[in-house]
Structure 1
Amino acid sequence: MSTFYVGSEIGQLRRVLLHRPELSLKRLTPSNCQDLLFDDVLSVERAGEEHDQFAQVLRDQDVEVFLLRDVLAETLAIAEAKEWLLANQVSDYRLGPSFANDVRRYLSELPNTEIASIMIGGLTFGEMPFSGVNMVQGMANESDFIINPLPNHLFTRDTSCWVYGGVSINPMAKPARQRETNNLKAIYRWHPMFKDADFIKYYGDEERNYDNSSIEGGDVEVIGNGAVLIGMSERTTPQGVEHLARQLFKHEQAKQVIAIELPHHRSCMHLDTVMTHMDYDTFSVYPEVVRKDVKCWSLTPGTAGNLSVKEKGYFVTAIEKALGVDQLKLITTGGDSFEAEREQWNDANNVLTVRPGVVVGYERNVYTNEKYDKAGITVLPIPGDELGRGRGGARCMSCPLERDGL
């Protein structure tokens, strides 16, 4: 039986879920990219080539790579999964009963790989092969979307995150990303790789409105020793952290959650854009954000299923205690203040650790990579001239499914 377990941020990475950018990025235009949470339009072909190199670097490090579209297509081969996903992504309330029925009927007859591409990349009114008599279709332009594209699926880290022996299928904060969660729900429920596997679903698998309790995987770092570090950002709320912490403790998968407050702005979208774990006692940090005065709380199991919540002082001290190390090494973003700000924006801190002291990062961040090298951290460089414009680095673009503990 397959073992899905993520015991740390730095142990040997064994299996990972990526998404190669395709149709969804082709849908980005100057007029819609902001609504879809991108700063600019990307060269799709170049981004795909850079992503292929990223995947190959991981394979060269003995990491098994799964691609989201392929896994989703394999899930759609199960009739129950296809029916559920079409009902949720093409609902009567989204499109009206008559038109929704037409769209579901059209999609259900396509090959599963094509349905998967549409579930991620979207569908326009002009791409429907027939026109029924209904008001929704009658009032739309050909270039309007029936199904909106989900270009942020590129960042597989966020939509679901594995924490020790289970997964959180995350309720996303922004409307542009909320439908991503349905694709992952279907995968974890029905894909043959997961259907009979032994793992816990902590959060997000129920059919409900999670309201203000959003959480995204870029804010969740499994630092090991039963501890989890979570950033409360513009995408992850204290309410979401509490729900996840309660489930982790209920299933006895974690002993402590350390939650820190982050600024709510674009350059610091998630914790992993300003701080990542690289070696047993080493983190990368962007000191302009990860300052000594950030608010920090420790959540531990209380009595009768309740939480014990205590405000802490310097968050680094809390991490040192959780990891059992005397002193953390903090490698700050490289260059002068201008270069450091530029490189943080280009995800110099958002590296993916493959094993202790070996990370994957964008080659363009020369000043920070040089500091990593001098500190004994090996950087496996990948190109990111196009991928990096999506504002996500190697950690953002990867969802570990299996990783060793400390």
Structure 2
Amino acid sequence: MFQVNSEVGALKQVILHEPGLDFERLTPGNKDELLFDDVVWVSRAREEHRAFQRLFTDRGVTVHLLHDLLAQTVKTEEAAAFVLDRVLDERQPHLGGSLARVTRRVLAAMGPDELASHLIGGLNKRELLQALGEHRAGCRSLGLDLLADDDFVLAPLPNSLFTRDTSCWIHDGVAVNPMRKSGRRRETVNYEAVYTFHPMFAQEPAPRWIDGEAMAPAAIEGGDVAVIGHGTVLVGLGERTTPAGAELLAGRLFEAGSARRVIAVELPKARALMHLDTVLTMVDRDAFTLFAGLDRRALRSWTLTPGGPAGPHVTENADFFTAVADALGLGAVRVLQTAQDSYAAEREQWNDGCNLLAVAPGSVVAYEVNENSNRMLEDNGIEVLRVRGDQLGRGRGGPRCMSCPVERAAA
């Protein structure tokens, strides 16, 4: 049922996350730790996201919201225990055994909807003590005493907005990814629970290419993974995905016969270029958009193919886009770059001008702010479906980052 064999086949089902309690808890003081560049106007962010959702539903795409999936998952005691066992480890520096046990008791007493809200939106000391009520006097711990009332026992996860990174479907299986930055690592647990226990996924379990926490510290994130078709997967090696992560993913895909080759491409290690999809996305069966600040001829890449017990065969490519065209069985691919000065290119890169989500071959969702890039795409025959992202873009992610396709038609 769930399968993604292409970046551009007609989109059928997708996981999104609407901003909620997690966004309400972003402040100037914690935004850096939570990997946002600024605080967010929350009601406007919700408005922008709901318009984003409508774009999909108007085209017949089924939208699954992460909060709802998680709430439906933790209805069972087994699933709730699975999550709480992992997020309330007493070895975490700010917890300790006493505070972990008290917090677990409070969260376990919540209904599934409230529990899901706090697993994504966080829990502070004030809320913990209010939930304890008359029992609070007997709950003392170093961890609790050292917290101010508004300090978090469980930090919020506003980067849950970017559903692609933590979970990405590759052919007939799913990778639940270990996140590179500490502010995102708990997201992995939520997805592990959903894919393990939610009835929609548990009835016919899919292969698990990457098994979350078990793989760390060999990080890989879904923004660096592109399923371009013909048994080929692209992986970006930049700020968030490690060579070890790319090789482990390739080995598991090859072992299952679910991919014939993985092409790994080196990226500059910079926040604005944190993932492959911030500089390159596939927009049609034969076309890719590439950040104007990168020289297409200078991209260093390697092709990984099935090997023996020692791991995949690794061959450095003479030219990245030639290797991509060969993998797709094409004489060449179109590489679309916006002709603009360096200032405009840098601005549109910062606003995710290349972070595009194809909903069908030659039809992509883009932020409206990137006027030059959007005109360039249309001049090259690509339909551009514009959405507003003034607030959503403050975490440095565009339409592709904000979507986890779980089913696409063949391209």
Tell me the TM-score normalized by structure 1: 0.97
The verdict on how the C-alpha distance between 1:198 and 1:96 changes in structure 2, with shifts beyond 3 A counting, is: closer
Q: Distance in 2 between matches of 1:209 and 1:344?
A: 31
1:329-348 residue CA offsets vs partner (Å, 9 max, x unmatched):
11113533221211111011
Q: Which residue of 2 aligns with 1:8?
A: 6
Residues 263 and 289 of structure 1 are in contact (CA less than 8 Å); yes or no, is this contact kept in structure 2? no
Q: CA deviation at 1:39?
A: 0.7
Q: Which residue of 1 aligns with 2:251?
A: 246
Q: Distance in 1 between matches of 2:214 and 2:4?
A: 27
The verdict on how the C-alpha distance between 1:392 and 1:290 changes in structure 2, with shifts beyond 3 A counting, is: farther
Equivalent residues in 2 for 1:47-126 (5 A)?
A: 47-94=45-92, 95-126=95-126
Q: CA deviation at 1:302?
A: 1.4
Q: CA deviation at 1:204?
A: 1.9
Residues 292 and 339 of structure 2 are in contact (CA less than 8 Å); yes or no, is this contact kept in structure 1? no
SS of the residue 1:101 aligns to: helix
Gaps of 5+ in 1: none
Residues 73 and 79 of structure 2 are in contact (CA less than 8 Å); yes or no, is this contact kept in structure 1? yes
Q: CA deviation at 1:288?
A: 1.6
Q: Which residue of 2 aligns with 1:184?
A: 191
Is residue 208 from structure 1 mapped to residue 206 from structure 2 by the alignment? Answer: no
Q: Which residue of 2 aligns with 1:127?
A: 127
Is residue 370 from structure 1 mapped to residue 370 from structure 2 by the alignment? Answer: no
Q: Distance in 2 between matches of 1:149 and 1:158?
A: 17
1:136-160 residue CA offsets vs partner (Å, 9 max, x unmatched):
2112111111001111110000001
Residues 333 and 343 of structure 1 are in contact (CA less than 8 Å); yes or no, is this contact kept in structure 2? no
1:3-62 residue CA offsets vs partner (Å, 9 max, x unmatched):
110010000110000000111111111111011111111111101100000010011111
Q: Which residue of 2 aligns with 1:326?
A: 331
1:85-131 residue CA offsets vs partner (Å, 9 max, x unmatched):
11111222232222211111111111211110100111110111133
Equivalent residues in 2 for 1:162-177 (5 A)?
A: 162-177=169-184
Q: Distance in 2 between matches of 1:31 and 1:313?
A: 46
Q: Distance in 1 between matches of 2:235 and 2:146?
A: 45
The verdict on how the C-alpha distance between 1:290 and 1:199 changes in structure 2, with shifts beyond 3 A counting, is: farther
Q: Distance in 2 between matches of 1:18 and 1:108?
A: 25
Equivalent residues in 2 for 1:271-350 (5 A)?
A: 271-289=276-294, 291-304=296-309, 306-333=311-338, 335-350=340-355
The verdict on how the C-alpha distance between 1:173 and 1:290 changes in structure 2, with shifts beyond 3 A counting, is: farther
Q: CA deviation at 1:291?
A: 3.2
Q: Distance in 2 between matches of 1:106 and 1:304?
A: 48
Is residue 156 from structure 1 mapped to residue 154 from structure 2 by the alignment? Answer: no
User: What residue identity is the alignment partner of 1:113?
Assistant: D
Residues 353 and 359 of structure 1 are in contact (CA less than 8 Å); yes or no, is this contact kept in structure 2? yes
Q: Distance in 2 between matches of 1:60 and 1:365?
A: 23
Residues 297 and 309 of structure 1 are in contact (CA less than 8 Å); yes or no, is this contact kept in structure 2? yes
- The correspondence for 2:151, drawn from 140, 144, 150, is 144
SS of the residue 2:299 aligns to: coil
Count of equivalent residues:
402
SS of the residue 1:376 aligns to: coil
Q: Percent identity?
A: 47
The verdict on how the C-alpha distance between 1:304 and 1:104 changes in structure 2, with shifts beyond 3 A counting, is: closer
Residues 172 and 178 of structure 1 are in contact (CA less than 8 Å); yes or no, is this contact kept in structure 2? yes
The verdict on how the C-alpha distance between 1:198 and 1:87 changes in structure 2, with shifts beyond 3 A counting, is: closer
SS of the residue 1:292 aligns to: helix
Q: Which residue of 2 aligns with 1:39?
A: 37
Residues 23 and 42 of structure 2 are in contact (CA less than 8 Å); yes or no, is this contact kept in structure 1? yes
User: What residue identity is the alignment partner of 1:120?
Assistant: I
SS of the residue 1:360 aligns to: strand
The verdict on how the C-alpha distance between 1:19 and 1:268 changes in structure 2, with shifts beyond 3 A counting, is: same
RMSD: 1.2
Residues 292 and 345 of structure 2 are in contact (CA less than 8 Å); yes or no, is this contact kept in structure 1? no
Greater displacement, 223-232 / 129-138: 129-138
SS of the residue 1:179 aligns to: helix
SS of the residue 1:5 aligns to: coil
Q: CA deviation at 1:326?
A: 1.4
Q: Distance in 1 between matches of 2:325 and 2:44?
A: 41
Residues 335 and 368 of structure 1 are in contact (CA less than 8 Å); yes or no, is this contact kept in structure 2? no
User: What residue identity is the alignment partner of 2:301?
Assistant: C
Q: Distance in 2 between matches of 1:198 and 1:204?
A: 13
Runs of 4+ in 1 over 4 A off after TM superposition: none
Q: CA deviation at 1:400?
A: 0.5
The verdict on how the C-alpha distance between 1:194 and 1:305 changes in structure 2, with shifts beyond 3 A counting, is: farther
Q: CA deviation at 1:317?
A: 0.3
